[in-house]
Amino acid sequence: MRVKKLVCVVSFNNTTEAIAFEEEAKKKGLQGRIIPLPRQISSGCGLAWKDDIENIDIIKELLKETQIPFKEVHQIVL
């Protein structure tokens, strides 16, 4: 059984924004990935970026730098 842990999840308004963020995150060297939007998060496009909670500040800064629209940055247990 997989151990659940606290992670950072970014929800987006649409798929285009999620894919655009994925490209920028990979350029920055982040190891996260696109996932289906978790059930705990009820709004958004259906795709989200999941990464280690330790990267939350880097993710927030990257969102600010790139000005890619997003819904919310969540801290949830998955």
CA distance 1 to 57: 30
CATH number at residue 46: 3.30.70.260
Range of the domain at 32: 6-77
Residue 15 in any domain: the answer is yes
Bridge partners of 7, per DSSP, are 52, 76
Please state the domain count of the chain.
1
Residue 72 in any domain: the answer is yes
Average pLDDT, the chain: 95
pLDDT, mean of residues 34-56: 90
pLDDT of residue 38: 93
pLDDT of residue 67: 98
pLDDT of residue 44: 62
pLDDT band at 42, cuts 50/70/90? Answer: confident
Name the E strands within the chain.
Answer: 6-11, 33-36, 47-52, 72-77
How many CB atoms lie under 10 A from the CB of residue 72?
12
Residue 1 in any domain: the answer is no
pLDDT of residue 28: 96
Look-up of token digits 């994925």: 22
pLDDT, mean of residues 45-63: 96
